[in-house]
Amino acid sequence: MKGIQGTSNKTYRQLMGNGLRYEIPKFQRDYSWEAEHWDDLWQDIRALLADEDNEHYMGYLVLQTSNNKEFQIIDGQQRLTTLSLLIL
């Protein structure tokens, strides 16, 4: 086992663009965010749009890949799923 490799900072646009594909492994828990979690994220987004903050710390995403195009989400699926739902 090699351990953690290839750490980097990415924007949401960089994560979701360029034909990248994400999969939630079967061992992950079901989506469980409730209103209080959504509200916290929504308030952060509002602050970004109002220029109160120029960036938002989304937390760590832990992804696993063998080809840099298809990723399994090991940690961060609740946040990534919620942001995707908001965008849609």
Averaged pLDDT for residues 15-44: 90
Averaged pLDDT for residues 30-44: 91
Q: What is the pLDDT of residue 2?
A: 67
Q: What is the DSSP letter of 19?
A: T
Q: What is the pLDDT of residue 68?
A: 87
DSSP assignment string, 49-83: HTTS-S-------EEEESSSSEEEEEE-HHHHHHH
pLDDT in tens, 39-82: 988 888 888 888 766 677 777 889 998 898 999 999 999 989 99
pLDDT mean across residues, the chain: 85
> Cα–Cα distances in Å, from 52 out to 9, 14, 25, 40, 72?
21, 23, 36, 15, 33
Q: What is the pLDDT of residue 52?
A: 66
Residues 64, 30: Cα–Cα separation, whole Å: 19
